[in-house]
Every structure is written in structure tokens, then in C-alpha cells.
Amino acid sequence: MTQEAATSGMPEHFAKVADVYRGVRTTDLEPILYIRDALVGWASVRAADIGCGTGRYDRLLFEHIPDLDLICVDASEHMLEQLSGYLAGEHIQNIVTLVARVEDLALDDGSLDAVFTFNAVHHFSFLTFLAKARHALSDEGRLFIYTRTPEQNTGSIWGRFFPLFTEKESRLYTLERMEAWVAETSGLRLVEAKAFRYARKASLDRLVEQARSRHYSTFSLYDDQELEAAYRTFKERICRQFDNLDAISWYDENTMLHLAKVQV
């Protein structure tokens, strides 16, 4: 499947999952603490979260970064509706929401101290995103890209046991590819590429609930018949591999790219 074909059904996918999205994804604090530490000493932070979804990481950003003003950008109005209700319920007011695709995004030149993107960069062109972020960042501004590589995807419970999961998910970028794109983009410097590793435990019922909710958009790249067959095979493989179906354990991995704007 081409990248274009793989992304063409995505607006529909995110409209469908918006209501349940936060409940079926696993949210980690570690990337937020990493960002907090990288921004320590900044008296206030004006930032944007691109592909923010329903706001699970935005709430954590507000909890851990003092005096934050955030523009929450997403291509899906359904995801942003969920985000607005969620953050309002948490009494978070310093946000502006913006329905926009990265490709059409026009943030003011030099207006932001930081740009974030969590689990979304594989939905858009990496180079376009870098150019837009660099343009919007102030001198010394920081860019944080939290994602998973194809190798990290392969090592997940889904990559190991869910039929065709790694083959279908052809959108993820390798670390080498992302680092090469950063190197060829003037005005941005790679500060660090950091890997995160998480020990996970879940019941088979929870895993099946997540997959049936299509918590990863990868599941929307299957046709209905393929997906039903894959659910069955996944359950069989898990039952063969694990003795305790209430406590299946595995590791998830992610990568944070931390970039700084530099003068050219």
C-alpha cells in the first residue's frame, strides 16, 4: 500500500474513534517529564501540539510545564471537540484549538518557544512538518517529536502476534531516515534521539477491546474480513504463548527526537 493510500482513510478513522480514543490508548508520563526537564528555566512557554488528538498529552503538559500557553492543532474537528471538552473539564484555559492539516498550517513566524507532536508525525510529511515547525519557532526554540519506529512497532504485542500488523503499518519512519531529514534541514539541530521502553501488562480481554476499538489507526488499514480473521489468529497465538491470560506482559518502545532551532 502506498503512503497516500494508507493515509487517505484516516480522517474517517479519527472521526470514528474520537469518542473512545483516550480510553483505549496507553498514556505515558515519561515523554512529558523529558520535555519538562528540557524546558527547565524557561519562565513561560508558548507552544503548539500538532496532531494533538483528544488532548491526553496536553493535559499532562499543563500539569508539568509552568505558565504554558498551547495551540492545539489537529486535522480532525471530532478529535478537537473531544479535546476541548476534556481540557475544559480539567479547568485548563490557556489553549486555542485550530482545525488544520500540517500541510496547510500557517503559524506566525518566530511565535513559539516549543512545538510538540505525539504519535502523529507518521500521518504527515516529515520534511513539511520540520519546515513549518522551524518557521514557527523563536530563536533557541525547541521541537519534540515523539513517535515509534518500524522496529519498535515490530517488537510490540501487536507487531509480534497480530497478523499483518507490521506489513500494514508502512507509514512509520526509521530513526536513520528522520535523522537524515533533520540533517538536511537548515536551521534545526538534533539535540538528542532518546528511546523509551515501557514494561506493559494487560489481560487478553483488554487487548481485544483495544484492537476492536481500533486504538491504532493501523487496524483501519485492514478490510473487514481480514480484520475478523486477524482477531481470531491473534487470540489463538496469545493463548498459545501465555499461560495467564489476565496478565500478558510485553515491552513497548518509543522514540523522542529533541531538536533546537539554530541561526543560519
Ligand X SMILES: C[S@@+](CC[C@H](N)C(=O)[O-])C[C@H]1O[C@@H](n2cnc3c(N)ncnc32)[C@H](O)[C@@H]1O
Work out which of 60, 102, 133, 227 binds ligand X, going by CB under 6 A. Answer: 102
Q: What is the DSSP letter of 173?
A: P
- By CB under 6 A, residue 159 contacts ligand X: no
Work out which of 52, 95, 207, 257 binds ligand X, going by CB under 6 A. Answer: 52
- By CB under 6 A, residue 60 contacts ligand X: no
Evaluate whether 86 touches 60 at the Cβ level (below 8 Å).
no
Closest approach of ligand X to the CB of residue 184, in Å:
21
Work out which of 31, 47, 51, 149 binds ligand X, going by CB under 6 A. Answer: 51
Closest approach of ligand X to the CB of residue 77, in Å:
9
Q: Count Cβ neighbours within 10 Å for each residue of 198-209 and write b for 16 or more, e otherwise.
A: eeeebebeebee
- By CB under 6 A, residue 194 contacts ligand X: no
Contact window for ligand X (CB under 6 A) among 98-106, 159-167, 190-198, 251-259: 98-106
CA–CA separation, 263 and 224 (whole Å): 50
Report the relative pairing of strands 248-261 and 188-202 from DSSP bridges. antiparallel
Q: Which is nearer to ligand X, 17 or 238 (CB)?
A: 17
Evaluate whether 255 touches 189 at the Cβ level (below 8 Å).
no
CA–CA separation, 144 and 178 (whole Å): 13
Report the relative pairing of strands 45-50 and 112-118 from DSSP bridges. parallel
Query: Where in 118-157 is the site for ligand X (CB under 6 A)?
Result: 118-120, 123-124
Evaluate whether 254 touches 200 at the Cβ level (below 8 Å).
no
Evaluate whether 181 touches 121 at the Cβ level (below 8 Å).
no
- By CB under 6 A, residue 74 contacts ligand X: yes
Give me 76's grid cell: 480532525
Indicate the helix (H) or strand (E) that contains 45: strand 45-50
Closest approach of ligand X to the CB of residue 203, in Å:
22
Closest approach of ligand X to the CB of residue 102, in Å:
4
Closest approach of ligand X to the CB of residue 146, in Å:
8
- By CB under 6 A, residue 101 contacts ligand X: yes
Q: Which is nearer to ligand X, 121 or 182 (CB)?
A: 121
**Binding residues for ligand X (CB under 6 A):** 10, 14, 25, 51-53, 56-57, 74-76, 79, 101-103, 118-120, 123-124, 217
